[in-house]
Structure 1
Amino acid sequence: MSQGPYDLAVVGAGIVGLAHALAARRLGKRVIVLDREAANVGASIRNFGFVTVTGQERGAQWCRALRSRDVWDELAGPAGIANLHSGLTLAVQTEEGLAVVESFLATEMGADCRLLDPDTALARYPHLNPEALQGVLESPHERRVEARQAIARLTHWLAEALGVTFAFGVNVRAVDPPRVETSAGPVEAGAIAICPGSDATGPFAERLADYGLSKCKLHMLRAAPLPGTYRQTAAVMGDLSLVRYPGYADLAEAADLTERLEAEPSAGHALAHGIHLIAVQSADGSLVLGDSHAYADAPDPFQPAEVDDAILNVARATLALDDVRVTERWTGVYAACAGRENLIDRPRPDVRQVVITSGTGMSTAFALAEESVGELFDRDPSASPLPV
């Protein structure tokens, strides 16, 4: 491992850490990324790879998602990352849901989105379940990558094309710029970005306790490729998403929808497990379905079948699915904090701790990292092109 000197040492090689490395390289900075694992096995590969714009919290978070989407578009070709489909189709199955969508479309967040009537929607998206369909919110803004491949390819591209140094299997013991003490020896770096994900340990971890962080465990499933011509051209969500994603849920009309869903046995059961539907399709035709949300300071490692069954029931009610054969199941854990989408902690002028606390890493990390790196180096990375 090269000992430096580096302009920036990034602790953590998840999507937030990789985003910091990219932002610093835009400024021409020399970067090393350190991670205690031998490879990326955390939340950054245990997700849909869904770059979500529509439904993000109004204001800064929504703007971060738009910017991060643009960065994905910019680096996808050079890094060899495929965009598997674009956009969002949110299937609305209640009158109360329609009211939320109509209110959403009247805001600035509804720009370039539209509400399709059921006949038009089914003609365009025959993979949706026609039963009870009231309409479809169609958005062009989203992207979808295969997270497991995308994170690996982004890491490789940062190393090979942009000259970022990576050191995996290395524990960081202490941070005191310009010195970083690691299990592989000291590293010299002028600034430090600590991106711990859900792991609130390590340098300056005591400061994270002041934010009241907890953790969120989620369930996800992969279903075998479906026979015939089933093909999604965009991600799918449903009514349950309208009461979970703050861009919708913070609208006044969402209260009536929440009341109705809680009163319905199936939807109420799903809400009790924090379930809302996201369905995306992979290049091999398989579907990734989820997800649930269970909050705890120390989530247990178990995956109750009841939660997986509830996810599948919501999927069947929203999509034109007959038999679904599950081929893979997994859980993910991310940092969570009530009322906060993310945090940038500033232990000292040359150190930042950056945590996304809303499960929106793939959707917002690039923009958040540009804010963090911009503070460290007093320059805006977004104004600089990719250094290729």
Structure 2
Amino acid sequence: MRKLTIALDVMGGDFGPHISLSATVKSLQLHPELSIIIVGNRSQILPLLKKNHLLDHARLSFIHADNFISMEDNPVHVLRRVSGSSMHMALELVAQGKADACVSAGNTGALMLLAKQALKTLPGISRPALVAALPNNCSGFTYLLDLGANLQCDSDTLFNFAVMGSVLCEKVQQIKSPRIALLNVGKENNKGNDVIKRSAGLLKQTKHINYAGFIEANELFSSRADVIVTDGFSGNVALKSYEGMGRVFLEQLDKAINTNIYSKLLGRLLKPILKKQLKHLHPDMYNGASLIGLRGIVVKSHGSANEVAFSYAIEQAVKEVQWQIPASIAKKLETVLSERDCLSHE
């Protein structure tokens, strides 16, 4: 069993470091091969480590950070005062080979900028992308990217996203030749802007990508595609809409069950079944967006993540380390770009 180490920036997020530390306890119990490096402020972290009986844990270590990057900080300004922040120090551990991955619930824009600066992008990749596996109607998962790291994308960038998403899905979800679709305003070949149309042309020419055509927003979670590619603006809107709709549905269901004594009795009978069937729809269950396209592994947790949700983000990082996702992406991208070069010279 290969040992692995994950660095946690525990100062990000909305609820403070106690959420990250509670999730750490669960992850260490679940993975005997896992070691975790906690990066945060000593005055806040040490009492929590003592409370959770983690001070002398053999697979847990702690590094003090003088400051942290808040959710309100402007990402561009962050670069001017990066030194000493918990996020930067966690990323540097990955860059120095002291950790295999970094997990943070901090400022998304800052994480992207600092990760790109510290880890650099893979050969052939100009921009990393945020990607997450979202539940579909077959109780499986569909990868969606980009989720907000790149608000505007050209055709080559979307093509690279398709390659990266394909590798991630194939390795982590164990789907051979995953179906790749482009999010568009229609399924017909004449629909969409020039960027989308050119992206489709590039994907059609590539035999190493299983291109499934255009897909509309009402089929995002229909399981018609394993990976859906779009720009960060559209992807973020789709993600937030889905999360909001999921919460509304679960809240309305809970209200309906508790309307009166009869519905409560019926709800008591149905609740175990509904809980099992609808469990995968809760946003906590798919927390952990991967920042792929870098030379190291970085997973972004929701800022509002609770203990369960943050545990899923750590789990995502563990899987990516086990499958060596950056190396796999680099290998496939080299093959695909070589194929494109051959086609362009014919």
- TM-score (normalised: structure 2): 0.31
Instruction: Name the one with the larger strand percent.
Output: 1
- TM-score (normalised: structure 1): 0.28
Instruction: Name the one with the larger helix percent.
Output: 2
Q: Which has the higher contact order (CA 8 A, sep 6+)?
A: 1
